[in-house]
Structure 1
Amino acid sequence: MPPRRNGVSGPTSAMTAYLKEQGIVGRTGVNYNPAPAAAADPPANAEAGPSNSTYAVAGSSSRRPTDLIDLDEEDEAEDSDQLPQKAGTKRKKKIINIDDSDDLDGDDDYSTSKNKNKNDDDSDSDVAPAPPPKKKGAPAPGKKKVGGGGRPANGSITACGECGAKVTVTNYSPPSPNDPSAVLCRPCAIAAGLGDYKGPAAAKKAAAKKAAPPAQRRKIVHYEEKARILTLKDLTIEVIAKNVEDVESLGNIGSANMEKVNDIICKHRKMTSQTAQLFYDVELKTFTMKDCTNIDPRGFLILSNLCPNLTSLTLNLCGQLTDEPLVYFSTQLPSLTRLELLGPFLVRKQAWIDFFTNMGSRLEGFLVRQSPRLDLECISALAENCGTNLTELRLSECGKMEGSWLSVLAQGGLKKLQHLDLSYPLNPLPSGCSDLEELIVAIGPNLLSLNLAGQSLLTSKDLYTLLPLNLLVLTRLDLTLLPLLTEEGVAPIVPAPPQDQGEEVGEDEIPVEMGTGMAEVFRTWEQEGNVGLESVKMGKAHQLKGATLQALVGLAGEKLRELEITGWKDVEEEVVKELGKTCKGLMRLDLGWCRNVTDFTLKQILEDAENLQEVIVWGCNLITINHPRKKGVKIAGVESHQF
């Protein structure tokens, strides 16, 4: 049991006695006041006996004060009556740090080890050595020292190194450039350019990142492709387009360069009512703006006033076009003969009717896309007032289109119509639509271009009725997204029952109705004397195969310039190989998702088609990275190029 302050010790257990013999003593749990660091040495002839100062404290600059217990003094008190001592002899104290008593076998780093060794040799004092003095600038126990060079501890209040104002030191207090031991207040830190200081650790990390060389990412190039060097004219045009808001006048730079600047500005969505005035001119005949998103109705009115001699006007993405500007076009542009609009959502029915009435027979081209308010009354006004001289008509993506529109157009006398676009309606025309047949018969002799893309209910039999007999001068045909088209007609005709009821008809004797497949459509069209197609788009007709392609190539021949057969997944490779030999004038070919196309197919086409400029092979997974190439021919869609 540990000694008490009155010098009386109670009984001890066997374990306590054993630990005392080994020099191990646990914490006493007694609250006490540590002895002073410097204690006076007792007289040399003092008698051995119980002592009241049995505890000593040793301090350290890096760890908390540790309790030190005088083990020999207790032994001295208990054994003083049993063990006589010689006069003049002194017992040396043994100091044990009880915090480190759990690791007696290790190399204990006692805080007073150096002083202990010195006292064993030179000192006869019975008092524990005083702790070493605290170093200047060391933080107080429990406080973390921040930075270096005598920086104040976090939480302390000090004076700013520049203005002398009081500052509470935190980890984000920047050091003074003139005195690293001082910190700056917030105003001085901002003035010194240290407003975003985030602590010493962040400063070191930022400095290391700035000093480290930039890491270079690995770039894998499968084939070398040299970029075209821009001319000085092109560079100048790009600079003008990027800073068009600061340009007062473009001057006389030529119509071609003016169109380039216009396209670049529209591409960057910088065309506004103010910047558009840079392109207006009194002598302008044809004007196109590919992005009118930021042009308000007042901007369209200014266009009519500053370009009074326009004959053709194209406005794409004209969502802010309203009734007033549209009617204003018909009255303030007396030479206007062609109008093309994309997205005139805000124009109402009465404005369309007024426009057609004011334009009259001088309107030669009306091309509109995405107009949800056009209805049967508007089409009737168009056919009645403008039908006689109309040569171009586009009614694409019109939400209210129906078969009655076509009947009204057929009766409107559109004898001069050459280009007709009825693509992607909200409600496709049904199969066997008599109104469509009536319109094609009425305008067929002069029609050069027909677009029926998105009329997904039309079948091969419908096209057999429309195309071969009526469109003999057609050169451009778009039948994209007609999934019901078939290769050959195989619908059997049920024969009449035989006279002899007992006689059975063999399977080979059942007649089959032929001529409803697309192959037969093109063969019949060729026999009727079509002049030859120059552009054919029949993508996403997944049931068509090689027989249709052979018949199409036989009809078009060398006049074919553009061919799109995207999605003909079962077309044979041998048929595709012959395209270059038959269609030597082919310039653009789209073979996307034709699964049988290989490197050898592409090689044969490149060798035979002398004028070929572009080949698209998206989804042709048999084409490898080693596919053949040809100078001047762009091959797009090779899967290996994407990695």
Structure 2
Amino acid sequence: MWKGDLPKPPVGSFEKCAKCKMQFTVTKYTLAANPPPGWLCHPCAKAGGSDPFKNPAAPRKRKAPADKRVVVYFEEKKFPTLVSLCIDLIGTFIDDVEALGDIGNLNLDEIAKTISKSRRLTAQNAPLFYDVQNTRLCLYDVTKLEPPALIAMANLNPNLTDLRLDYCGHMNDEVLAHWQTAFPNLKRLELLGPFLVKAPAWRDFLKAHPSLEGFLIIQSPRFDLECVRTLVENCKGLKELRLSEIGLMEDSFLEPLKKLSGTLTSLEIPKPGSATNPDPLSEAALIDLIAAVGESLTHLDLSFNNDISDQFLYKALKPHVRRLISLRLQGCSELTNAGVAEFFDTWVAAAQKSMKEPNPPLEVVDLSRSHQLGTDALFALLDHSGPALRDLNINEWKGASQDSLQTIAARAPNLRTLDVGFCRETDDWVIKSLLESCQMLSEVKVWGCQRLTVGCPRKRGVNIIGVEAGQLVS
């Protein structure tokens, strides 16, 4: 409303200015006199300090808070080689390539990885990787290869002994039935995601390939107990076994595997069960299995078996393994700092006391995501296996002290990869000691290490991944 709650005269009407008493025409810009009553002509309104033609000020917008952190990533950016540039170019125009020629298996594998990153492998360009003389074939993303293409693969590569297919979600019973006769020389099969294959098809395939030495599958929800029995009964020379993320997994699956004693060198049973069948494997069943097959094992992966505790170390690994060089127990949250420390401290002595050959130092250790582990466990691990360690993952060892982390450099000089992510005491001095002492180091992961700064040391040829150096913006 206008001053004094008087209605404004209609636009175009005549009024007398309350100040100069001159008659003027009312417009939409006419202002009320202050103090009222009456109205002001434009000159008098402007003389009084009010500009009737001035646009109202726009409401002031609140500025969004600026990011006050500078995130710095210390990752080695290598200048691309001519070979890598050619591989990238081929990957970009893979659909226009008629033949790859004799470029060597290493370069062929790099091209396969390059086109898999963008899921460009199709039924039309996949034959570029086929050859009747092939004995090994690795394709890292076959999402777009449907059953006819997977059948054609077998027809064009009849002499394969080693086959790896990732993301093979279109594989079905028809494909596996064709492979029974199409791959007579197959020794090793590695599949990721054969969701559609049913149990009878698995059994028929395993019966047709008694010479299998490696059977590695991930995410096959229909692989059941009868399939395991068929595998063990027919493939008596099996050396590598991976049953990862098998939804039907339970303790009864482990009983037939005991018959592989003496031949099995690599065993992987990570992430067993499903949402409706969580934590299906008991610690007692796993201990019995290792007691049977542990003596010949060189690689063991039982990650995310949540029932594993310190007892597994004492009753399974300590008395029964003699050749193990790679151990992965990721996400076993029941392991304790004192228990792991005692295990590594007494492992050699326990073997000598029982007049047995002690297990050699470990080369690959992954005990990540075990939040109870810390300083004592790290010191004991380094005392036992330090000089032999090549790959070490202690992600989320929140209790590891700065002194123990700095000791890694001195006691494990042959490290190639290291993950100390979310180890709270990791700082610039820890990284500095690693870069100075570990001459073979190529990668360090430091996600969540908040004590690292912008001045974090660097070294040519070493990727330091995950540095988030907080720096206030002036």
2:345 is aligned with 1:523? yes
Cα drift, residue 238 of structure 1: 2.0
Cα drift, residue 372 of structure 1: 0.4
Question: Gapped runs of 5+ residues in structure 1?
Answer: 1-25, 28-63, 65-97, 110-219, 489-516
Would you say how many aligned residue pairs link Structure 1 and Structure 2? 409
Question: CA separation in 1, counterparts of 2:247 and 2:74?
Answer: 48
Cα drift, residue 258 of structure 1: 1.9
Question: CA separation in 2, counterparts of 1:332 and 1:227?
Answer: 44
Say if 1:431 and 1:462, in contact at 8 Å, map to a contact too. no
- TM-score of the pair, normalised by structure 2: 0.81
Aligned to 1:598: 427
Question: CA separation in 1, counterparts of 2:439 and 2:230?
Answer: 49
2:234 is aligned with 1:385? yes
2:84 is aligned with 1:234? yes
Say if 1:485 and 1:543, in contact at 8 Å, map to a contact too. yes
1:86-485 equivalences under 5 Å are 99=13, 101-103=15-17, 227-360=77-210, 362-386=211-235, 388-410=236-258, 412-426=259-273, 427-433=278-284, 435-485=285-335
Question: CA separation in 1, counterparts of 2:245 and 2:71?
Answer: 42
Where 1:571 maps in the other structure, the secondary structure is coil
Where 2:205 maps in the other structure, the secondary structure is helix
For residues 226 and 485 of structure 1, do their structure 2 counterparts lie closer, same or farther at Cα, with a shift above 3 Å needed? closer
For residues 226 and 292 of structure 1, do their structure 2 counterparts lie closer, same or farther at Cα, with a shift above 3 Å needed? closer
Asked which structure has the greater CA Rg, the reply is 1
Question: Gapped runs of 5+ residues in structure 2?
Answer: 1-8, 26-69, 352-357
For residues 100 and 317 of structure 1, do their structure 2 counterparts lie closer, same or farther at Cα, with a shift above 3 Å needed? same
Question: CA separation in 2, counterparts of 1:235 and 1:623?
Answer: 34
Amino acid at match of 2:214: G
Aligned to 1:182: none
* 1:592-640 deviation per Cα after TM superposition (whole angstroms, max 9, x unaligned): 1111222222222322222222111111111111222223222112122
Where 2:335 maps in the other structure, the secondary structure is coil
**Residue 618 of structure 1, aligned match among 440, 447, 461:** 447
Where 1:536 maps in the other structure, the secondary structure is strand
Say if 1:238 and 1:261, in contact at 8 Å, map to a contact too. yes
For residues 106 and 279 of structure 1, do their structure 2 counterparts lie closer, same or farther at Cα, with a shift above 3 Å needed? farther
Say if 2:218 and 2:245, in contact at 8 Å, map to a contact too. yes
Question: CA separation in 2, counterparts of 1:364 and 1:440?
Answer: 19
Amino acid at match of 2:238: L
Cα drift, residue 313 of structure 1: 0.5
Say if 1:330 and 1:336, in contact at 8 Å, map to a contact too. no
- TM-score of the pair, normalised by structure 1: 0.60
For residues 394 and 641 of structure 1, do their structure 2 counterparts lie closer, same or farther at Cα, with a shift above 3 Å needed? farther
Say if 2:198 and 2:222, in contact at 8 Å, map to a contact too. yes
Cα drift, residue 223 of structure 1: 8.4
Say if 2:304 and 2:331, in contact at 8 Å, map to a contact too. yes
For residues 225 and 446 of structure 1, do their structure 2 counterparts lie closer, same or farther at Cα, with a shift above 3 Å needed? closer
- The answer to which structure, 1 or 2, has the higher relative contact order (CA under 8 A, 6+ apart) is 2
Question: CA separation in 2, counterparts of 1:599 and 1:628?
Answer: 7
* 1:183-216 deviation per Cα after TM superposition (whole angstroms, max 9, x unaligned): xxxxxxxxxxxxxxxxxxxxxxxxxxxxxxxxxx
Root-mean-square deviation over aligned CA pairs: 2.6
Question: CA separation in 1, counterparts of 2:433 and 2:76?
Answer: 25
For residues 622 and 272 of structure 1, do their structure 2 counterparts lie closer, same or farther at Cα, with a shift above 3 Å needed? same
Amino acid at match of 1:637: G
Where 2:464 maps in the other structure, the secondary structure is strand
Where 1:394 maps in the other structure, the secondary structure is strand
Percentage of matched positions with identical amino acids: 40
* 1:53-77 deviation per Cα after TM superposition (whole angstroms, max 9, x unaligned): xxxxxxxxxxx9xxxxxxxxxxxxx
